[in-house]
Homo-oligomer: A and B are copies of this chain.
Amino acid sequence: MTTSRASIGNTRNPETHSAVLDAAEALLTEKGYAGVSMEAVARRAGAGKPTLYRWWPSKAALLMEVYERRKAEALAELPAGASAREDMAAMLESIMCFWRDTPAGQAFRSIVAEAQADPAALRMLRDEMLARGRASAAAMLRRAAEAGEIGPNPDTELMLDALFGMAWYRLLTHRLRRAPDEVPRLVAAIFLGAQPGGPFCLPG
């Protein structure tokens, strides 16, 4: 376990790097958000606190890397389905399964919590982490518009707020378990609202 893992010289030690992320993830799953402190992570990882602060300026930054590491290996790529609507449903469903079935859900809950106390963390969450997902989801909606699945000028912002909002709300209230077909039905309803003349259609 606690193999002596000293400096390997002039370079960042990748073992230390992953040991810290592993320790943070383990504490997160075992004790939840309250159990994760920089001090506890350092203890558990067999690392020094200065090492943590050298690479992660805040707890939020550490949690985000824990999350992103999981995400990279889990949500590699979703195959394109028959329609943008199905793609959207598959994406939302896979995010919610990812949150429910891996430590990433607890990590993301913690990141959102941290963002309520730390303005810099909020900006990073909103303008970097979320922006990526929203951009790819918005691209799906534009493809849907081009394919005629929905009207030509959908209010993508509002539609995404409803879709991601539902997922956040479920995550943060610990209600991620879904009835079958819930997500496809929600997506269908949002797409229905974006049919020509519908409430999600913008003029112009």
Contact = CB atoms under 8 A, between A and B. Distances in A.
A169 B161 contact: yes
Interface stretch (A7-15, A16-24, A40-48, A181-189): A181-189
Nearest to A159: B189
A33 B161 contact: no
A112 to B, nearest CB: 6
The dominant DSSP class at the A interface is helix
B109 A116 contact: yes
Indicate how many identical chains form the complex. 2
Contacts of A118: 34
A200 B169 CA distance: 18
Interface of A: 32-34, 109-110, 112-119, 122, 125-126, 130, 155, 158, 161-162, 164-170, 172-175, 179, 182, 184-186, 188-190, 192-194, 198-200
25 contacts: A32-B119, A34-B117, A110-B116, A112-B116, A113-B114, A113-B116, A122-B173, A122-B174, A126-B174, A155-B182, A158-B166, A158-B182, A158-B185, A161-B170, A162-B162, A164-B169, A165-B166, A165-B167, A168-B169, A172-B172, A185-B200, A188-B193, A188-B199, A189-B190, A189-B198
